[in-house]
Structure 1
Amino acid sequence: MNNFSISVIIPVYNAIKYLEKTIDSLLLQTKKDIELILIDDESTDGSRELCDKLALKYDNILAIHQKNSGPAVARNKGIQVAKGKWIMFVDSDDIVDENFCETSYRLVSKFGADIGIFRYDKFHKYKDIKKANSNGSIYSSKVLEKEKAMEMLLDDSIGDFSWNKIFSKSIFLDIKFPENKLFEDLGVMYLLFEKSNSIYFTNTVLYHYRQHENSIMHKLSIKSIEDSFNFRLKRDIFFKKEYPEVYKSSLDQTLANALQYEVYINKFDGNYSNNLKSSANNLLSSFKVPKNWNCKYKIMAYLYKVSKKAFKVVCKFKL
Structure 2
Amino acid sequence: MRICRPQKSLERASVTVVIPCYNYGKYLPQVVNSVLSQERVDVRIIIVDDASPDGSAKVATAIADTDARISVVAHAENEGHIGTYNDGLARIETTYAVLLSADDLLAPHALARATDLMAAHPAVGMVYGRPVDFNDAEGSPSLSSKDRSTWTVWRGSEWLHLASYRGRCFILSPEVVMRTEAMREVGYYNPELPHSGDLEYWLRLASRWDIGYIHGPPQAFYRVHESNMHLLSYSSMATDLSHRLKAFLAFCSTYELRDDTDGRAILRLARRALAREALLLAQRELDTGGSQETAIQLASTATEADRKAKRNSRYRKYRRRLSRAEAGSQPNVQQILTELVRKQMDRMRWRVWKAIGIS
TM-score by length of 2: 0.65
Task: Decide which moves more: 186-195 or 208-217.
Answer: 208-217
Match of 2:52 among 1, 24, 43: 43
Indicate the residue corresponding to 1:68 in structure 2: 78
Q: 2:42 aligned with 1:33, yes or no?
A: yes
Give the 5 Å matches for 1:197-216.
198-204=210-216, 205-215=218-228
CA-to-aligned-CA distance 1:110-132 (integer Å, 9 cap, x gap): 22232222222222233443527
Q: Distance in 2 between matches of 1:163 and 1:52?
A: 23
Q: Distance in 2 between matches of 1:247 and 1:280?
A: 9
Whether the 8 Å CA contact 1:229–1:258 is kept in 2: the answer is no
Indicate the residue corresponding to 1:104 in structure 2: 114
Match of 1:163 among 155, 174, 192: 174
Whether the 8 Å CA contact 1:116–1:166 is kept in 2: the answer is yes
Q: Distance in 1 between matches of 2:317 and 2:252?
A: 23
1:97 aligned partner, one-letter code: A
1:79 aligned partner, one-letter code: L
Match of 2:272 among 240, 251, 254: 251
Give the 5 Å matches for 1:190-269.
190-196=203-209, 198-204=210-216, 205-215=218-228, 217=230, 226-234=242-250, 241=262, 248=269, 251-253=272-274, 255-256=276-277
Q: Distance in 2 between matches of 1:68 and 1:260?
A: 37
- Cα 1:39–1:222 shift into 2, 3 Å: farther
1:171 aligned partner, one-letter code: A
Question: In percent, how many aligned pairs have the same letter?
Answer: 16
- Give, in angstroms, the shift of residue 203 of structure 1: 0.8
Q: Secondary structure at the match of 1:64?
A: strand
- From the CA coordinates, give the structure whose radius of gyration is larger: 2
- Give, in angstroms, the shift of residue 217 of structure 1: 3.1
- Cα 1:27–1:212 shift into 2, 3 Å: same
Q: Distance in 2 between matches of 1:199 and 1:281?
A: 29
Q: Secondary structure at the match of 1:285?
A: helix
Give the 5 Å matches for 1:53-202.
53-66=62-75, 67-112=77-122, 113-124=124-135, 125-129=138-142, 131=144, 141-150=151-160, 153=163, 159-173=170-184, 174-179=186-191, 181-196=194-209, 198-202=210-214
Indicate the residue corresponding to 1:316 in structure 2: none
Q: Distance in 2 between matches of 1:236 and 1:248?
A: 12
Show structure 2 runs of 5+ residues with no match: 1-11, 286-290, 295-300, 329-359
Q: 2:323 aligned with 1:282, yes or no?
A: no
CA RMSD after TM alignment? 4.4
- Cα 1:245–1:20 shift into 2, 3 Å: same
- Give, in angstroms, the shift of residue 151 of structure 1: 5.4
Aligned length: 292
2:307 aligned partner, one-letter code: N
Task: Decide which moves more: 54-63 or 124-133.
Answer: 124-133
Whether the 8 Å CA contact 1:12–1:38 is kept in 2: the answer is yes
- Give, in angstroms, the shift of residue 304 of structure 1: 5.7
- Cα 1:159–1:55 shift into 2, 3 Å: same
- Cα 1:115–1:32 shift into 2, 3 Å: closer
